[in-house]
Amino acid sequence: MINEIFGVWNYWIVFTLMMIGLYIVISKKSLLKKVVGLAIFQTSVFLLYITFGKIAGGTAPIITNNSEEIYSNPLPHVLILTAIVVGVATTALGLALIVRINKAYGSINEDEISAVDLVDYHEKFSEKKNK
């Protein structure tokens, strides 16, 4: 019974975490917060993969002398190791873009950025009209 609850409990929390990450990415206006939301989404996907690899009663996949030992699945671990490092690379790139945007627009709020863009557009348009 408890095993069955635990069997889906992990999945439920992982999916909820994914949706929290997605919600932050969609609804928050601060670009920095969006990057944090992406990180949350990412980590929850990692957790999903590692959950797939778990065997109850198994140990970490490091070979011991005991031939009866059950090892958890090492393949998802390898995939996620790669994904973690790539995730940090994307985070760094996102942060560099945000710093650059802040330099150009003086704000990292989506609404303020599009307001600045709108003002620029209208100024250009009116210049053309005057000519």
Partner 1 sequence: MITEIIINAFLVSFMLVIALFIVNTRKVIFTILLAGTYSLVAALMFVSLDAVDVAFTEASVGAGISTILFLAALSFLPKEEVQESFNKNDIFALSICLLIGGLLIWASYDLPMVGNENNPVHQHLVSDFIEGSKNHIGIPNVVTAILASYRGYDTFGETIVIYTAGLAVFILLYNRTSKETNKSVKNEISKK
Cα distances (angstroms) measured from residue 124 to each of 26, 29, 33, 115, 128: 31, 26, 32, 14, 6
The verdict on 122 binding partner 1 (CB under 8 A) reads: no
Task: Pick the stretch among 97-105, 113-121, 122-130 that binds partner 1 (CB under 8 A).
Answer: 97-105
CB 36 within 8 A of CB 103: no
The verdict on 62 binding partner 1 (CB under 8 A) reads: yes
Phi, psi angle pair for 66, to nearest 5°: -70, 115
The verdict on 50 binding partner 1 (CB under 8 A) reads: yes
What count of Cα atoms within 13 Å lies in the side-chain half-sphere of residue 32?
6
Residues between 66 and 85 with contacts to partner 1, criterion CB under 8 A: 70-78, 80-82, 84-85
Supply the Cα-derived Rg of the chain in whole angstroms. Answer: 23
Question: CB of residue 68 vs partner 1: minimum separation in angstroms?
Answer: 13
Residues between 7 and 26 with contacts to partner 1, criterion CB under 8 A: 7-24, 26
Which of 1, 45, 60, 121 binds partner 1 (CB under 8 A)? It is 60
- Name the maximum alpha-carbon separation found in the chain: 86
The verdict on 119 binding partner 1 (CB under 8 A) reads: no
